[in-house]
Chains A and B, each alone.
Chain A
Amino acid sequence: DGGITQSPKYLFRKEGQNVTLSCEQNLNHDAMYWYRQDPGQGLRLIYYSQIVNDFQKGDIAEGYSVSREKKESFPLTVTSAQKNPTAFYLCASSIGGSTNYGYTFGSGTRLTVV
């Protein structure tokens, strides 16, 4: 079945540590996105990529980094510069870079600072 796989489901980060969240899709979608969701709040865009080897900052990119070396993969690194990383992280993809067809979401990664 086609879909988006995010791993791990739960992740714990120590202070000052970098962690990487995985996002893989087999939908042959061109565009991929990373969102952050805090409790009781909406989705905020971190980074997005319309094509391989290219990505753009979203509204809250500080303290995060991404890569897009393969069409199927869009990993997100939460760096030590992100001072409040505890949140629910969602990866999404869309056909051809156009949001007119909607997003498909992964199941999410819940990151907690310990």
Chain B
Amino acid sequence: QKEVEQNSGPLSVPEGAIASLNCTYSDRGSQSFFWYRQYSGKSPELIMFIYSNGDKEDGRFTAQLNKASQYVSLLIRDSQPSDSATYLCAAGGDYGQNFVFGPGTRLSVLP
């Protein structure tokens, strides 16, 4: 059974701090990794994806991938109250392999 695990939270950080969200996956064949943000009552929206080991930065967001440790993380710098949401980690693969989603981590950024 392919699994993606995340701490459910809630993770609370003060405004302006760095929020660190973590995710582990069980399938070494997973090739791509995605972070989705989901506001309450809304559908998930893609915020970052990463395919290669190392860091990938996009604005205030940095995704980190370590395939040897089967570990993915998302860092949010200068956290804002508008970042308060549930963050879903997902692992993807080739044709015929469906996404495996983690349960999500609820982030709360306190003003």
Q: How many contacts A-B (CB < 8 Å)? A: 61
A42: Cβ under 8 A from any B Cβ: yes
Give chain A interface residues in 2-44, CB to chain B under 8 Å.
Answer: 33, 41-43
Residues in B with CB closer than 8 Å to A98 are 92-95, 97
Residues in A with CB closer than 8 Å to B104 are 42
Chain B proximity of A32: nearest CB distance (Å): 11
How many A residues touch B, CB cutoff 8 Å? 24
The size bracket of the interface on B is 20 to 34
Bound Cα distance from A20 to B88, whole angstroms: 27
Question: For the complex, would chain A's binding face be called helix, strand, loop or mixed by DSSP majority?
Answer: mixed
B42, B46, B96, B99 pick with most chain A CB within 10 angstroms: B99
In this complex, what residue of A is CB-closest to B31?
A100
> Assuming A43-B88, A98-B94, A99-B92, is B99 touching A108 (CB within 8 A)?
no
